[in-house]
Structure 1
Amino acid sequence: MSVREDFFDTSISRDFFASICGDLLGEGFGREVYACAINPDIVIKFETRARSFQNVLEHEVWEQVCHTALAKWFAPVVDISPCGTVLLMRRTMVPRPGELPDKVPALFTDMKTENWGMLDGNPVCHDYGITISNFSIKKTRKAVWTKPPAKVRN
């Protein structure tokens, strides 16, 4: 399923999509992420699976951490649509070798390098819709970074 093909099926909605969304930056289990054509500092995340709720979870996580010391580890959520199907987030850049930290807060559970990026010179998690465990954990742990498996296209 592709957001562009499956959800924007009228001429007005296709024009809107083309005006707002730039390149497809990535896709995962339940979302597609696009560059924002009108603001290069923002990405647009679209939910592509029913009952995925990754956007809603990211928004809720950000709301919990945005005024705490943990905020520095997260790419900020800018806004979310009323139903949660569209999320705006600060755009990160791909980290260079050696830029990812040796230790991260223990609440991060999915340590794929593709879930992280650099924002204002700091490493941040930009895909935390399903990668967080317990917020009461205050410890750090050694980060064992994994590369995602190669995507197979049919």
Structure 2
Amino acid sequence: MMDADDTNDLINLICGRKLGEGTFRTVFECALDKTRVVKHDSGSNFSNINEWQLSNELAATSLASWIAPVYWLSPRGLWLIQAKTTPITLDQLPEKIPAIFADTKVENWGLFEGRPVCHDYGNHRAFVLAGKAGMRMRAANWIGTT
């Protein structure tokens, strides 16, 4: 059985220095791979789960180039490992961004593989946009047998 010392030892193995903190999450440098970050979610608004789901949904689309990829999510969604971005300046930010982004603070963006990406997209507009587009009627293409 693990005790608090065991848990802290494991966290210290994986989490390096603290990089930042927001309302719902704390971000650490990944001690095992400095090209990644570890995000700890308080569990209040499921930002880690939202990022994981959006990263997976967008992976095969052109929108994937606008986000920092997520590599791993813990079973309860409290811990997430994501690509680490480098700081970005205002003049490096694009003039237009996809409508999916909601929390458009400069601090939520960075450079990844030489391009601007959002690294904090736990709060997004995907559901709002899907709701609007989802009401558009289209021809049904039924699959199955009768």
Q: TM-score, normalised by structure 2?
A: 0.82
Of 90, 101, 113, the residue aligned with 2:106 is 113
Whole-angstrom distance in 1 between the partners of 2:26 and 2:19:
8
Is the 8 Å Cα contact of residues 24 and 44 (structure 2) preserved in structure 1? no
Structure 1 runs (4+) deviating above 4 angstroms are 135-138
Structure with more helix by fraction: 2
Whole-angstrom distance in 1 between the partners of 2:131 and 2:28:
32
Q: Which blocks of at least 5 consecutive residues in structure 2 are unaligned?
A: 134-146
Q: Give the equivalent residue in structure 2 for 1:86.
A: 79
Mapping of residues 34-113 of structure 1, within 5 Å: 34-48=28-42, 50-113=43-106
1:137 is displaced (CA, Å) by 8.4
RMSD: 1.9
Q: In the comparison of the two structures, how many residue pairs are matched?
A: 129
Task: Pick which of 76-85 and 92-101 moved more.
Answer: 92-101
**1:27 counterpart = 2:21:** yes
State the Cα deviation string for residues 126-146 of structure 1 (Å, max 9, x = none).
Answer: 0000133425889xxxxxxxx
Q: TM-score, normalised by structure 1?
A: 0.78
Task: Pick which of 89-98 and 122-131 moved more.
Answer: 89-98
Is the 8 Å Cα contact of residues 106 and 137 (structure 1) preserved in structure 2? no
Q: Which blocks of at least 5 consecutive residues in structure 1 are unaligned?
A: 1-8, 139-154
